[in-house]
Structure 1
Amino acid sequence: MAGGTVDGLVVAETARLRLRRLTEGDAAFMLRLLNEPGFIANIGDKGVRTLDDAVTNLRTGPLDSYAVHGFGMWRMERRADGLPVGICGLLRRNGMDDVEIGYALLAEYEGQGYTSEAALACRDLALTVFGLPRIVAIVTPGNIGSERILQKLGLTDQGLREVFPGKPPVAFYA
């Protein structure tokens, strides 16, 4: 993995992908991604329905996380043409001791190895650049594709945990 500085837009490059900080200019892409059926089924409905909603989501999510933690969710784009295919990054959630790795992909790019490639780069950033002792992940039970990616990262299933009060338990990986 070739890596840029985390204070610039590009945070990492892999053989096929560039991970870069999201900006408000990514609102249309995020509007589309957050409303993908797979995103809603496996991550949740964020209630983002307009470009203004997407800008607000970017400001209160990734952009705020960059300012507070120095990391967050990053745009996954193909190096060859700059086309956004998804997001991948590091999340610090309230109530969780560890930093979580997360990702989401536009449906037409599933099954091409992009998420695994980006997630490995994020894991390496977490451990080397950010000096985190470990990363964790949560997955909707039965999301076999995500479970395989987490296993490639070296994470193991720790069983079901209630992470979000009032919501069904999720599979916890560490």
Structure 2
Amino acid sequence: MSVELIRAFLLKSKNSKKQTFLNDLFKSMDKDHSRKIDYHEFKQGLFKLGLTDLTEAEIRKLFNDFDTKQDGKIDFTEFVNALKPQLSPTRLKAIDEAFRKLDVNNDGVLSMEDFRVVYMEQAKRHPKCKDGTWTTEQALRSFLDAFDTPGRADGIVTMEEFHNYYAIISASIPDDSYFVFLMNSCFGS
């Protein structure tokens, strides 16, 4: 069994249409909440997914394919990088253009400063801001955190994190031109 077959299996799941699918899957496998999956957790996670016919050697090979740092644990970045679908050049271009539009200060990362410029009006209209539950800063942070690495949100979104976010969304949109249309609609291209 290869990582590609696992990816295909997961993407066929009806749950994979949710933006948070890989995050939820990672959390469900990370039983000790260490933000890393060890071999035992990985094996149990595969079994819970219904992949019960894998041999010990196949599971070990899969684990090693995911564990690119070769430290005996799979962190979230390794997990997503292994499972995210490959993006076509057309989709990559649309994602990169959106990132550049959001990166107002052109420092190569997305931060609260960028989001204040781009999303302040949307933050003010957020339902939780309107009802007084959140401040606009909290709404902006929730927008930013959507792109940040789950479990390691540091308030900075790198290009890699932005690609990971949209690679997962991209998996549920079969047509490149429709994906580009959606990106342009969201980011005003």
Same fold (TM over 0.5): no
Structure (1/2) with the larger strand percentage: 1
Q: Which has the larger radius of gyration?
A: 2
Structure (1/2) with the larger helix percentage: 2
